[in-house]
Structure 1
Amino acid sequence: PGTLTVGAPADIVLLDARAACNTPLHHTDSNVVYACNGGAVMTVLCQGRVLMHERVVPGAEEIVREASAAAQALVGRAREA
């Protein structure tokens, strides 16, 4: 079993208890394992780093812009070929 202690790395996922997959929420463990999906994920921490907070991934907009520019460049090169 893991522990949450000051200074220790932590992997934590916070779920929205009000999400449709958690309704009704009678047996939390069963809901998480059998009914929950990614739509219920609110916040993710991995080794203490916040990877997503309140459904926002830091830096995601920049990644999407770069991917879009790369895709446009690829299509442009394909048209020239």
Structure 2
Amino acid sequence: MGMFDFLRARKNTASIAKDRLRIIIAQERSTLGGPDYLPLLRRELLEVIRKYVNVDVDAVKVDLVKDGEHDVLDISVSLPDGRAATA
């Protein structure tokens, strides 16, 4: 005990912060309800669809749904009333 006690406190604080960050990341992944690639897949689908049809950012929804023992990729696209994109 003495002059270097403050160094031990920082290691303990860093360890606690690291554990808290792991918990936060785990919670975010579980609330998203799917694998990490789903947001990227959604963005790429939106880019492809926008080549042909003007759609809103929220028009494409990608979810992973359990169907018994299988995972099913559920893709929903809300199309506008028939107006095509201008190239």
Tell me the TM-score normalised to structure 2 length: 0.30
Q: Which has the higher contact order (CA 8 A, sep 6+)?
A: 1
Asked which structure has the greater CA Rg, the reply is 2
Tell me the TM-score normalised to structure 1 length: 0.31
